[in-house]
Structure 1
Amino acid sequence: MARIGMFGGFSRKKQALMHGTAQPQAEQIGLSDGRWRALWQRLARLLGQDRALVLGVVLAAVAALPALVAWAPQMTDYPSHLAGYKVALDHGEDPYLTRYFVFNWEWTGNLGVELLMVPMAPIFGLEQAGRIIVAMIPFLSGLSIVAACRSLGRKLGVGPILAFAMIWSPSLLMGFLNYSLSIALGLFTFALWVRLEDRPWRWAVMVPIGFVVWLCHVSGWGVMGVLLFGYEWSRRRSWLDWRPFLKPWPLIFPLLPMLVGMGANSKVSYGRYVLEYKWGILYKSMRSFDFYFDIISLDLVLLALGWALLRKRIDGRFGWAALILLVLTLIVPRQIFGGDYADYRLSTTALLVACLAIDLPIRRWMVAAAASLFLSRTAVTTVVWYQDAQTARQLIAALDQVPEGARVATAVAIPRIQWRFGPFEHFGSYAVVRRSAMENSNFALPDVHMLSMRDLSYRFADPSQRILYSPRQHIDLRKFGPARHAEYLWYIGRIKPVALPDGARILYSSENSFLARLADPSAPGT
């Protein structure tokens, strides 16, 4: 019998046993009609024979585990995104939010989760809806890897399973939700593009899909275009064949709103120390929580890629796109369209697509090794998120002392040099989420974000909450600028400050934080 799936099919005897057990079960639940019985048997065969599909779905479900064990996603930027969603969905009903914030909806290429929140937040509540979406993104990312691989008629082998290890990328751990969602949708679109190869109406399907991916995130839309171009380029007849450049034309229409300036931000910057920074984003492409573990993980992936290159087992239908994305990682500015780390996002995406290009012979031990890398990295993320969530419960208890609509200045002490992403750099935004407070760690810069402060007379937004410190450096909060405009000071950090603003009185403290009531700045003598 021909081998089916990744590990081979069942024997005829085992299939007969499987079919014999499925048929009585169908009768027990009332599926006595012949058509329903046939459908049940086909489903049983799918689950029993196509083990590769089952494995892919299981791995995709495992990818969502960190969001399921933590009471709230422990991403760096997530609390500030959540605060933005709250203001966006308020529509002027909360008098405090209306007093402090302005939210200008714009049709721009960075609206993925914002649009999902519109129907989901009223049903599940703001925080629960956010948690569901965060769990959904890695799950969809895993399924999109499976879909892209199977669309090319390939089994779920070593390369695609290694690609699973890129799901919890630095971009996702930092909280770039719209970008991560757009990459998953881009891979699904790639799979659909291949499936509809000979359909004359494919363009009519792809035009609206292109807009959907662009609305999620403009960079994901760009990656999708590179994937389709790479696929078409690998099928060219000669180096002078110009058709691969024209084939993806149905995806080009989002350029129109970009050209007329809808939601566009023209700020472009490479930052300082460009060469050092570019090298950094390459070797940090699998950065998560532990330097040695992440570097070893990257070395193992590069070793698999090198072995596939030596064996000439690189699938050009993904390989060309991976090469283009690597080049773009090196030449794209750090800041573009108002977003930061535009190139850093591409580094891990290039690695993911390169893994998809690996087409080594399928051996059980190789598949097990690739799956172990993904499972171990997901396990580390799950454990760290659970631990950070317990710390977050202690931190957020401080808000019990904060009245609705208060003015809160958050100070977060951040080591100048650290490998892991700090989960609490924007934690102060929970003051907006739960107390409708004015707070200073939000993404609320005019002409950069849709959210902005109503009173622009002083800077009260990210990164004003950050206090970078070196070893043996003392933190003195007496001159902390945002505290001059606030009623409460919320400090978060592993080291304790040596001084507080004059008149500050601590109301709540935990191992890594405290909340202090500040002296009334309008009172005489203050």
Structure 2
Amino acid sequence: MEPQQAPRWWQTRLFVIAATLIAIIPLLRPEIPPLVDLPGHMGRFRVQIAIADHPFLKEWYDFNWSLIGNLGIDLLIIPMAKLFGLELGVKLIVMAIPALMVSGLLWIAREVHGRIPATALFALPLAYSYPFHFGFVNFELSMVIALNLFALWLRMARLGHVRLRAAIFVPISCLLWVCHTFGWGTLGVLAFSAELVRQHDAGHRWYKALVRAGLACVPLALPMALMIFWRSGDHVGGQTTDWFNWRAKIGWMVMVFRDRWELLDIASVAVVLMILVRAVRDPSIQYSRNLGLSAAFLLLVYILLPRIVFGSAYADMRLVPFMLAMAVIAIRPKTELSVLGTWVLATLGLAFFLVRIAATTASFWIYAQTYERELKALDHVPVGARLVSFVGEKCYGDWTASRLEHLPAIALERKMAYSNDQWSMAGAQLLTTQYAKAKRYAHDPSEIVTAVQCPREWWRPISTSLARFPRDAFDYVWLIQPPAYDPRLATGLVEIWRDGSSVLYKVDHSQPGPVVSDVELRAPVFRQH
């Protein structure tokens, strides 16, 4: 792009600031951002902050600080909770994620193209993608920081500050790894691809450019030692499996905008793909070699990544929005495209962004109302309660997810009540459960219940959970939009709050629970109100 031209409205600082602020609008209304896993993380944050002052938490949970590549918000919440309280602190951090993604994408586009191309606006709606809705908050935070760091990497190379860049990116890469390993790995892929093009453009043959690009990225390599230390201990569990699941990989592409309205979400994917295809076929727009190679490298990583890495599911799915965003911002109009044509492209891109923001805002408003309605049950739960929760789920979920799976953790966050939704995987995070009396109802996914036994799932039917949970270990039972169940299974449970099908029971330890055989539990009668 011609640097002497006056910047158009989408290339100004004012537009970048406005777009960044617009990106946080959907998160203004909800007190708790309605992201599937986020309440579970908030429960862990409460334990980390309060376990030293509440001995009963030590009976239920084991929390030990260790150096792992998954500590982004776990560390940030310490000062944020002191300043704003835990819930508002988490909300402010989460609000920063889409804002940083927008700023990062626009900054990268400016560094590579000289000015922000009109087509870059079509990448902005990816700030609210399926992985974000899922609540992979440490991952998301590390990835959006990586985007902004990549822009800084490009800028320092453009200004000739390569030695200074090498010096400052040694500690920066370590901090990014601590936030989440995925962000560090992605930064390495992006930096290497950019350096490869830069070295080739400097006159080096491709094989020399490869070597020089690798050497330029050495300052990013120190976290490899941290990775080996983290993953070589006996305490680390979880397998890496499900390679080259093409059906799932195609599905993640289709679901990249998955939120509430299936038709709109799929149509949004079609818009992004249309832009990507047009850049190949339309002579008036083209791909940047620099970002085009970055997007190609991310595509290769996506293809090679398995679905489960060290026991953590959806590893490949998380990369999709960033891969697509990088491909979109790689596109730029050629000089042959008229001023009117670029204005039309920018206007359409802005309209696409605003429509997605409006839809996400409405969706989050509805989810916020659901959260508030369900959380009224906690008004009847005392501090330190031994609470077991069961959240209704379908074997094959609808496009619109309930986002209630980890809502029980808000009882832990607000009331420091026991929550059986916490993940318990040594080495993956700082908290593990140790409440032996809870037996098989101690941790995730014991909180998920279904109408019947789902194939290839660990979830239990509601009838089994109500009949078999250890009543001596718990004083309260919280059912959140459960499937239909026979009232006889609530024998010995005293109802103290209800809203629709959701109900809070107090366990009457003076009464025996229902006596039901396994054969009876499988009978249809126990799947009816």
Aligned to 1:385: 364
Letter in 1 for 2:6: I
Distance 2:187 2:401 in 1: 27
Aligned to 1:122: 82
Alpha-carbon distance change, 394 to 55 in structure 1, aligned in 2, over 3 angstroms: same
Q: 2:476 aligns with which of 488, 491, 498?
A: 488
Q: 2:100 aligns with which of 140, 148, 157?
A: 140
Aligned to 2:332: 359
Aligned to 2:378: 399
Letter in 2 for 1:277: A
Would the aligned equivalents of 1:411 and 1:491 in 2 still touch at CA under 8 Å?
yes
Q: 2:206 aligns with which of 233, 239, 251?
A: 239
Is 2:251 aligned against 1:280? yes
Q: How many residues align?
A: 484
Is 2:257 aligned against 1:269? no
Alpha-carbon distance change, 308 to 521 in structure 1, aligned in 2, over 3 angstroms: farther
Q: 1:309 aligns with which of 268, 275, 280?
A: 280
Would the aligned equivalents of 2:420 and 2:444 in 1 still touch at CA under 8 Å?
yes
Q: C-alpha deviations, 1:417-448, integer Å up to 9, x for none? A: 31133321100111101111111112233444
Alpha-carbon distance change, 294 to 270 in structure 1, aligned in 2, over 3 angstroms: farther
Is 2:57 aligned against 1:97? yes
Distance 1:2 1:152 in 2: 16
Q: C-alpha deviations, 1:198-219, integer Å up to 9, x for none? A: 2222211111111111111101
Q: C-alpha deviations, 1:342-366, integer Å up to 9, x for none? A: 1100112111111111112561121
Pairing 1:295-374 to 2, within 5 Å after superposition: 295-310=266-281, 311=283, 313-361=286-334, 363-374=342-353
Would the aligned equivalents of 2:238 and 2:425 in 1 still touch at CA under 8 Å?
no
Alpha-carbon distance change, 502 to 273 in structure 1, aligned in 2, over 3 angstroms: farther
SS in 2 for 1:118: helix
Aligned to 1:79: 39
Aligned to 1:498: 486
Would the aligned equivalents of 1:86 and 1:126 in 2 still touch at CA under 8 Å?
yes
C-alpha displacement of 1:174? 0.9
Letter in 2 for 1:276: R
Superposition RMSD on alpha carbons, in Å? 2.7
Aligned to 2:220: 251
Alpha-carbon distance change, 318 to 480 in structure 1, aligned in 2, over 3 angstroms: farther
Structure 2 gaps of 5+ residues are 335-340, 454-459, 516-529
Is 2:166 aligned against 1:203? yes
Distance 1:203 1:480 in 2: 61
SS in 2 for 1:476: helix
Aligned to 2:419: 439
Would the aligned equivalents of 1:109 and 1:263 in 2 still touch at CA under 8 Å?
no
Alpha-carbon distance change, 475 to 152 in structure 1, aligned in 2, over 3 angstroms: same
Q: C-alpha deviations, 1:26-61, integer Å up to 9, x for none? A: xxxxxxxxxxxxxxxxxxxxxxxx853211221111
Distance 1:480 1:53 in 2: 61
Q: C-alpha deviations, 1:363-384, integer Å up to 9, x for none? A: 1121111122221112111111
Distance 1:142 1:219 in 2: 19
Alpha-carbon distance change, 368 to 329 in structure 1, aligned in 2, over 3 angstroms: same
Distance 1:514 1:274 in 2: 40
Distance 1:288 1:56 in 2: 25
Distance 2:251 2:39 in 1: 26
Letter in 2 for 1:5: P
Higher mean displacement: 412-421 or 481-490: 481-490
Higher mean displacement: 422-431 or 261-270: 261-270
Aligned to 1:418: 398
Distance 2:74 2:436 in 1: 24
Is 2:294 aligned against 1:292? no
SS in 1 for 2:379: helix
SS in 2 for 1:182: helix
Q: 1:450 aligns with which of 412, 424, 430?
A: 430
Alpha-carbon distance change, 482 to 54 in structure 1, aligned in 2, over 3 angstroms: farther
Letter in 1 for 2:263: Y
SS in 1 for 2:205: coil
Distance 1:512 1:326 in 2: 44
Aligned to 2:463: 476
Alpha-carbon distance change, 320 to 482 in structure 1, aligned in 2, over 3 angstroms: farther
Q: C-alpha deviations, 1:206-237, integer Å up to 9, x for none? A: 11111111111101111111111121222324
Alpha-carbon distance change, 373 to 483 in structure 1, aligned in 2, over 3 angstroms: farther
C-alpha displacement of 1:122? 1.0
Would the aligned equivalents of 1:161 and 1:370 in 2 still touch at CA under 8 Å?
yes
% same residue = 28
SS in 1 for 2:374: helix
Higher mean displacement: 388-397 or 78-87: 388-397
Alpha-carbon distance change, 247 to 521 in structure 1, aligned in 2, over 3 angstroms: farther
What TM-score does the superposition give when structure 1 sets the normalisation length? 0.86
Would the aligned equivalents of 1:477 and 1:501 in 2 still touch at CA under 8 Å?
no
Aligned to 1:5: 7
SS in 1 for 2:32: coil
Aligned to 1:223: 186
SS in 2 for 1:440: coil
Higher mean displacement: 253-262 or 440-449: 440-449
Aligned to 2:523: none
Would the aligned equivalents of 1:334 and 1:342 in 2 still touch at CA under 8 Å?
yes
C-alpha displacement of 1:270? 2.9
Distance 1:108 1:417 in 2: 32
Letter in 2 for 1:117: I
Letter in 2 for 1:465: E
Aligned to 1:62: 22
Higher mean displacement: 109-118 or 447-456: 447-456
Q: C-alpha deviations, 1:279-304, integer Å up to 9, x for none? A: 22222222222221111111111110
Alpha-carbon distance change, 258 to 510 in structure 1, aligned in 2, over 3 angstroms: same
SS in 2 for 1:250: helix
Distance 2:491 2:393 in 1: 23
C-alpha displacement of 1:79? 0.7
Distance 1:455 1:121 in 2: 27
Higher mean displacement: 147-156 or 287-296: 147-156
